[in-house]
Amino acid sequence: MSAERAGGGQGRRRDGFPSCHTGVTAYAARGPAKDAAVQKALSHDRDITLITPSAPMKAPTHGGRAKCLQRLVRLELPVPRTVALSFDAVHRIASGDLPDMNGLLSSFDEDALLCVRPSSEDPDWGGPSAILNIGMNDARYVALSDEIGHEAAAALYLRFVQAYAIHVARLDPDQFDEIDETGQAGLSAALGAYEEEAEEPFPQDPAVQLCEVLRSMARAWEGTTARLLRQAKGAPVDAGLGLVVQEMALGIGRGECGSGVLHLVNTETGQPQLTGRYLSQSQGRDALRQRHRSLYLERDPRGPSLQDKAPEAFEQLIEYAHLMRRRLREEMQIEFTIRGGAVHILDGVRVERSSRAALRIAVRMAEDGIISEQEAVMRIEPRAISELLHRQVAPNAQRVVIGRGIAASPGAATGRIVFSSAEAQASAARGEACILVRRETSPEDIRGMHAAVGVLTERGGMTSHAAVIGRGLGLPCVVGAARMNFEIHKKTLVGERGRVFREGDVITLDGTSGAVLEGSPETVEAALDDAFQTLMGWADAARDIDIRANADTPADANTARRFSAQGIGLCRTEHMFFDAERITPMREMIFADTPEDRQAALAVLLPMQRADFTELFRIMEGLPVCIRLFDPPLHEFLPQDRAGLRDLAEALDLPVSDVTRRVESLAEYNPMLGLRGVRLGITVPEIYDMQARAIFEATLDASREGAPVVPEIMLPLVSARREVELVRTRIDAVAAAVRAERGRSFTYRLGVMAETPRACLRADEIAPHCQFLSFGTNDLTQMTYGLSRDDAGRFMSDYVQQGVFSEDPFHVLDVDGVGELVATGAHRARATTPGITLSICGEHGGNPESIAFCRDVGMDYVSCSPFRVPVARLAAAHIALRETGVQRPARL
């Protein structure tokens, strides 16, 4: 080690910034009056503060770490002396305005080594790496060698030189990372490399070292890459950085010395579990990095433990950890050192955790009386729980992304690629999991979707057929993956980077993120455990808007019950007609030339529909069930290819040419705006008559066995009052007929789907003719924007990226436009019919942001896909609790 190095190092900088010429500092001696003296010395700069119990310190000005350290100090934990630099101070440092280094250094013992750590407002926003052992120089090395030995002193110095060279002087990291020697040899190599690369000796003056460390950390935070990174994690553009400078309690020295990390929970499950490691003669997070050498904390059959080695220190640590959990009201990860047997707490950060663990931690905290039940509810992000309802790609799994689309239905699914519904069914029959890959899906794909474990489409958005059905079935689904190449006829799928996948190749869909992955990455199971049920119970007690489910099938209804939906808000009946045994009478009905022929076909369908509804009523056990009468464009029921036309011709005993002509005559240029919904009910009224009869007969059948059923019948695509009057008259007649035939009474509620702009605008005159109005915001969004639900996926991501739309309006309700129509409709309906029930049944009903809007306009309930029900229950609870002043606590 060259003696000349001592005192050197205040050389020029290459970045044009002024160098730190502060001179060697005389540190003040530690004493009982030290705190007061330090506070006085720092008092001229209110942005540099010694952390004491009463120092003015807040997360929004000094960052979460500084605030947390103060809380540890208030708990009288053995935290080494720490000084906090505010966001303003750090911002000034970044622009070259340096604080008084002498004043800062005089806060600490003269021969102390220091470390600097970042302190951003939210720890998740990250920050530059901590730098340890500031103050190490040749002289200190010599002095420490006497105390702790050459090798140990060299290790401290080497760690500092490496960190300084890479993060502060910004020298080539490889040069320093690749130093294989340890101890004195490693130190000489590092100092030599530094001098060669930096063209100046390693700085020896602690004031210069500290000054450069502070400046480099301040400037790193303001760099573009760091800014973009933290913005991606939700940080505002002007997020500030604080820094904490702490005297080091060295984990290297005589007696039992070492460092470690500890927390009290399992980060995957949230169950209590003392976790962490300890390593003698180490510092920082060495104990975690060198697991083969480190000790378990608690006595453990796998190897030696801190509990055996230093039982008193261990007991002390556990006591501190429990105190922190109780008083900081959070599961904390503690960084500690032991020096000569005494414990020092260096830092505490909120334990990172999976969504499942977050939920259990919140519940346990409330059960232990540390936080209230309401606060536990507020601690869980509604969106995060949708992860718990489905199997997920494991957070640490290897992911090879081959494409991306819209994350339309959450969860992970792995299977072999198939390109048609028939292949999907064949695959399911063989017991092989498959992913159905289609350009887009249509009602004819329903059976294939039931057979598949996941669905991937090239086209479509959040409310396209595949997305709506996928969510209903709880089937992971990625739609609108337009940058992949779907060669359905060639039976190939080409990834975004040109990788070709064929039928039978295994892929995985991550419907939570929208990624399409190669092969079968590791997954984790859904977690509807006791903690989940407990938290949802607390959420239900807090919310003040009802949550129903959109459910079409018994399976959906069972899922809705499992997730405690308060009824069915939308049962789409058209999906009930795609089964093989039903599609033919349905087609016969469409092709019927006379009312008699039509009645004959409908008579075949009636018992099937009655059985469908009876089953739903039974499952829902008296909870409300809202059945929407037939909605889809008729042509969806017609065959699309030659084979289908031939089959139909056979069934109808007609020539293929006749059938083809009839199919062509039913084709529409714009089926979504054609003969749909109530228009069909008015022009071909027998269909609605049959459905109403099936509903009423099922009502009587189900009421005989269980709780009385009051069915709700909903008319789709209404745009004029007269439509409601006409249909209501017929349905009333059917009800009267069924009552007379069965000799039993029942009531029903009639409602209108407000899903055309005109229905919203004329809600005042429609409302008196019905008992409820449900806003169908899928169609309403489509018609308000003039934007096709099925085609919007092609350009939606460009539109959102370029800021034309702030969000996909099919996903998050457009409060400004569509919302104004909804609010107008709600207001006008209530003006003429105050007791009318208002709700939403479009996909937005499950969206946390949209639920707040629905509640504000006075809706009685929202209805969404069964798998979104828990998210909606929790989101509704958050909204109600926030209004009563319960806030989500700031992150530690």
Q: Which residues are annotated as a binding site?
A: 572, 628, 755, 776-779
If one asks whether residue 842 binds ligand PEP (CB under 6 A), the answer comes out as yes
Contact 659, 648 (CB under 8 A): yes
Q: How far is the CB of 845 from ligand PEP (least distance, A)?
A: 8
- Residue with smaller CB distance to Mg ion, 211 or 759: 759
Q: For residue 479, is it left (φ>0), alpha (ψ between -120 and 50) or beta?
A: beta
Among 440, 779, 790, 808, binds ligand PEP (CB under 6 A): 779
Q: How far is the CB of 842 from ligand PEP (least distance, A)?
A: 3
Among 242, 470, 639, 776, binds ligand PEP (CB under 6 A): 776
Reading the block at residue 498, the tokens are 């040109």
- Residue with smaller CB distance to ligand PEP, 128 or 842: 842
Residue type, 588: E
- Residue with smaller CB distance to Mg ion, 789 or 830: 789
- Residue with smaller CB distance to Mg ion, 100 or 791: 791
> Could you say which of ligand PEP, Mg ion, none residue 207 binds, taking C-beta under 5 to 8 angstroms by partner kind?
none
Residue type, 199: E
Query: What is the DSSP secondary-structure string of 350-406?
Result: EPP--HHHHHHHHHHHHHTTSS-HHHHHHTS-HHHHHGGGS-EE-TTS---EEEE-E
C-alpha 724/C-alpha 721 separation (Å) is 5
Closest CA to 687 of 641, 644, 730, 640: 730
x/- map, 738-757, Mg ion, by CB under 5 A: -----------------x--
Residue nearest to Mg ion (CB): 779
Q: Per the annotation, where are the binding residues for substrate?
A: 572, 628, 755, 776-779
Reading the block at residue 526, the tokens are 């859904």
In three-state secondary structure terms, 276 is strand
Q: How far is the CB of 540 from Mg ion (least distance, A)?
A: 29
- Residue with smaller CB distance to Mg ion, 138 or 755: 755
Site for ligand PEP in 463-492 (CB under 6 A): 468
Closest CA to 434 of 495, 376, 507: 507
- Number of neighbouring beta carbons within 10 Å of residue 363: 25
User: Are β-strands 295-296 and 272-280 bridged in parallel, bridged antiparallel, or unpaired?
Assistant: antiparallel
> Could you say which of Mg ion, ligand PEP, none residue 534 binds, taking C-beta under 5 to 8 angstroms by partner kind?
none
Q: How far is the CB of 637 from Mg ion (least distance, A)?
A: 17
434, 770, 841, 854: the catalytic one is 841
CA-only gyration radius of the chain, Å: 34
If one asks whether residue 679 binds ligand PEP (CB under 6 A), the answer comes out as no
If one asks whether residue 553 binds ligand PEP (CB under 6 A), the answer comes out as no
C-alpha 409/C-alpha 424 separation (Å) is 19
Closest CA to 772 of 830, 689, 698, 851: 830
If one asks whether residue 779 binds Mg ion (CB under 5 A), the answer comes out as yes
- Residue with smaller CB distance to ligand PEP, 572 or 610: 572
Contact 50, 34 (CB under 8 A): no
C-alpha 45/C-alpha 56 separation (Å) is 13
62, 465, 811, 878: the catalytic one is 465
Stretch that binds ligand PEP, among 157-165, 248-256, 451-459, 777-785 (CB under 6 A): 777-785
Contact 506, 433 (CB under 8 A): no
x/- map, 513-552, Mg ion, by CB under 5 A: ----------------------------------------
Burial 456-490 (b: 16+ CB within 10 A, else e): bbbbbbbbbbbbbbbbbbbbbbbbbbbebbbeeee
If one asks whether residue 755 binds ligand PEP (CB under 6 A), the answer comes out as yes
Q: How far is the CB of 790 from ligand PEP (least distance, A)?
A: 11
C-alpha 611/C-alpha 409 separation (Å) is 29
- Residue with smaller CB distance to Mg ion, 80 or 776: 776
Stretch that binds Mg ion, among 181-189, 538-546, 777-785, 861-869 (CB under 5 A): 777-785
Among 841, 859, 864, 869, binds ligand PEP (CB under 6 A): 841
In three-state secondary structure terms, 347 is strand
> Could you say which of Mg ion, ligand PEP, none residue 876 binds, taking C-beta under 5 to 8 angstroms by partner kind?
none
Burial 713-737 (b: 16+ CB within 10 A, else e): bbbbbbbebebbeebbebbeebbee
- Number of neighbouring beta carbons within 10 Å of residue 13: 15
Count of residues binding Mg ion (CB under 5 A)?
Answer: 3
Q: How far is the CB of 804 from ligand PEP (least distance, A)?
A: 22
C-alpha 816/C-alpha 827 separation (Å) is 16
Contact 193, 175 (CB under 8 A): yes
Q: How far is the CB of 776 from ligand PEP (least distance, A)?
A: 3
Closest CA to 455 of 432, 430, 481: 481
Count of residues binding ligand PEP (CB under 6 A)?
Answer: 11
If one asks whether residue 776 binds Mg ion (CB under 5 A), the answer comes out as yes
Q: How far is the CB of 810 from Mg ion (least distance, A)?
A: 12
465 carries an active-site annotation: yes
Q: Which residue has the tokens 């969106």?
A: 383
Q: How far is the CB of 773 from ligand PEP (least distance, A)?
A: 13
x/- map, 607-646, ligand PEP, by CB under 6 A: ------------------------x---------------
Q: Which residue has the tokens 């949550």?
A: 547
Which residues pair with residue 241 across a beta bridge?
Answer: 120
C-alpha 232/C-alpha 239 separation (Å) is 12
- Residue with smaller CB distance to ligand PEP, 161 or 760: 760
Edge-to-edge strand ranges of the sheet holding 492-494: 485-487, 492-494, 500-502
- Residue with smaller CB distance to ligand PEP, 336 or 775: 775
> Could you say which of ligand PEP, Mg ion, none residue 842 binds, taking C-beta under 5 to 8 angstroms by partner kind?
ligand PEP
Contacts of 435 (CB under 8 A, 6+ apart): 413, 414, 415, 416, 417, 418, 452, 453, 454, 455, 456, 507, 509
Stretch that binds ligand PEP, among 21-29, 126-134, 201-209, 775-783 (CB under 6 A): 775-783
Among 457, 691, 778, 797, binds ligand PEP (CB under 6 A): 778
- Residue with smaller CB distance to Mg ion, 206 or 776: 776
| Positive or negative: CA dihedral 531, 536, 539, 540 | negative
x/- map, 423-462, ligand PEP, by CB under 6 A: ----------------------------------------
Q: Per the annotation, where are the binding residues for Mg(2+)?
A: 755, 779
Q: How far is the CB of 479 from ligand PEP (least distance, A)?
A: 14
Q: How far is the CB of 716 from ligand PEP (least distance, A)?
A: 7
- Residue with smaller CB distance to ligand PEP, 335 or 843: 843
Burial of 451 (0-12, 13-18, 19+ CB in 10 A): buried
Residues that bind Mg ion (CB under 5 A): 755, 776, 779
Active-site residue list: 465, 841
Residues that bind ligand PEP (CB under 6 A): 468, 570, 572, 631, 755, 776-779, 841-842
